[in-house]
Amino acid sequence: MRKKIVLSCSICKQRNYTTTKNTQTNPERIEMHKFCKVCQEHTLHKETK
């Protein structure tokens, strides 16, 4: 079953992206490099609770 998650910027802490993940195959938190509209650059985005 896929679960909705929210990604937030590691620099400015803004919640910018939503996505889904399979919790059975990936139980750990996701980290992705995405573009932050507030910082105006590509930054590391981490999954929030």
CATH number at residue 39: 2.20.28.120
C-alpha to C-alpha distance for 45 and 42, rounded to whole angstroms: 9
d(CA 5, CA 14): 14
pLDDT tens digits for range 10-30: 999 999 999 999 999 999 999
Give the domain range for residue 31: 2-47
Q: pLDDT by residue (tens digit) across 38-49?
A: 999 999 999 998
Q: Which residue spans within the chain are E strands per DSSP?
A: 2-9, 15-22, 31-36, 41-47
Q: In the chain, how many domains are there?
A: 1
